Amino acid sequence: MIVAGGAALWTSCDLGDESEDGLDKSFLRDVAAVEEMGLPVYWLGTEFPADGLVFRGPYGAEFGNELEGGINMHYLAPIDGGNAAFDLTVYGRDAWGAAAGRVLNPGVPGVIRKTVTVLGRDAEAVSVPLGARPVNILWLVLDMGDVIVVGTARSGAPDEPENPLIDPDNLIAVMEDLRPYPE
């Protein structure tokens, strides 16, 4: 299931949410649901570096909106009193069919789409300006065959620290470490 509810996630992640092997229980619940559907899960491990920050996770949302056919994982890195956030979503083909339009064509002016290479495959980088910064959302869309994997980085207001993954080169470098769960 895809759980969208990052704000709820940030307030609910604590050590009591971890399984015996140190993984977030909500993440493990969602992995089991996706594996039961016969779909592979791709992830970035329990932590990864990006431009001097260390993102940790993955976290699943304890509650929120759900869409059958995939999984949404959250990674967080402490940055100047807050967190830089990164979402990794694995969509089954049907779920991607429902989400593709809003990701590939978000309907705001100034969107830039560019074909890039990740893991030897063509991927689409979609940069979305929302007024506060030149890029407020950066999606990287990668077709892995059975599933579509989307990495999402966001930056907030100009006075907030910038998420290093909003830079396409940093996001591509991180996505090069994408691998099947549980490797």
The domain limits of the chain are 2-180
Between CA 24 and CA 46 the distance in angstroms is 10
Residue pLDDT, tens place only, 9-48: 333 344 446 655 679 898 898 899 899 999 999 999 999 9
Q: Right CATH number for 2-180 from 3.40.1350, 3.30.410, 3.20.20, 3.40.1000?
A: 3.40.1000
Q: Could you tell me the strand order of the sheet in which 121-128 lies?
A: 47-50, 53-59, 70-79, 82-92, 147-154, 137-143, 121-128, 112-118
pLDDT tens figures, 80-129: 878 899 999 999 999 999 999 999 998 888 899 999 999 999 999 999 88
**What predicted TM-score, i.e. pTM, was given to this entire model?**
0.86
Structure confidence by residue, pLDDT tens digits, 38-91? 999 999 999 999 999 999 999 987 665 455 688 999 999 998 878 899 999 999
